[in-house]
Amino acid sequence: MWCMMWIGIHIGTHSVKTIQMTIDERLLKLVDKMSRARKTTRSAFIRGALETEIRRQRIHEDEIRHVEGYIRKPAARGEFDVWLSEQDWGAP
C-alpha cells in the first residue's frame, strides 16, 4: 500500500517549494516514529535526510576524484616525509 505525502522542501534561505511524493506505509510509519522521537515534523525530518544523503554523495564523489587524481599523478617517494614529525598518534 502506498501513501501520498505533501512535503515543503526548504531551498537555500530564499524559498520553500511544496512537492508531492509517494512513500510506502512501512517507511511512512518509520518516518513518523523517528520524527516524533526527534520532536520534529515529517518535512523537517525528510529535509534533513535528503541533505545528509546529498552531503554523503558529494563526499563520495570528492573521494573518487581524489583517488583518480592520485592514479593520474601518484605521490613521489618521500613527498610527504616532511609531515611525519607532525603526526601525533597519542601515547600508548
User: What confidence score (pLDDT) does residue 71 get?
Assistant: 96
Tally of structural domains, the chain: 1
The verdict on residue 84 lying in a domain is: no
Check pLDDT > 90 for residue 16.
no
Is residue 89 included in any domain, yes or no?
Answer: no
Q: E-strand spans in 1-92?
A: 2-11, 15-24
User: Is 81 within a domain?
Assistant: no
Q: Is residue 11 part of a domain?
A: yes
When pLDDT is cut at 50, 70 and 90, the band that residue 69 belongs to is very high
Residues 22-62: tens digit of each pLDDT:
999 999 999 999 999 999 999 999 999 999 999 999 999 99
Domain span at residue 12?
2-74
**Is residue 8 helix, strand or coil?**
strand
Check whether 90 has a pLDDT greater than 90.
no
pTM of the model: 0.66
8 Å CB contact between 46 and 10: no
User: How many Cα atoms are found within 13 Å in the side-chain-facing hemisphere of 36?
Assistant: 5
Class of residue 46 by CB neighbours under 10 A (exposed 0-12, middle 13-18, buried 19+)? buried
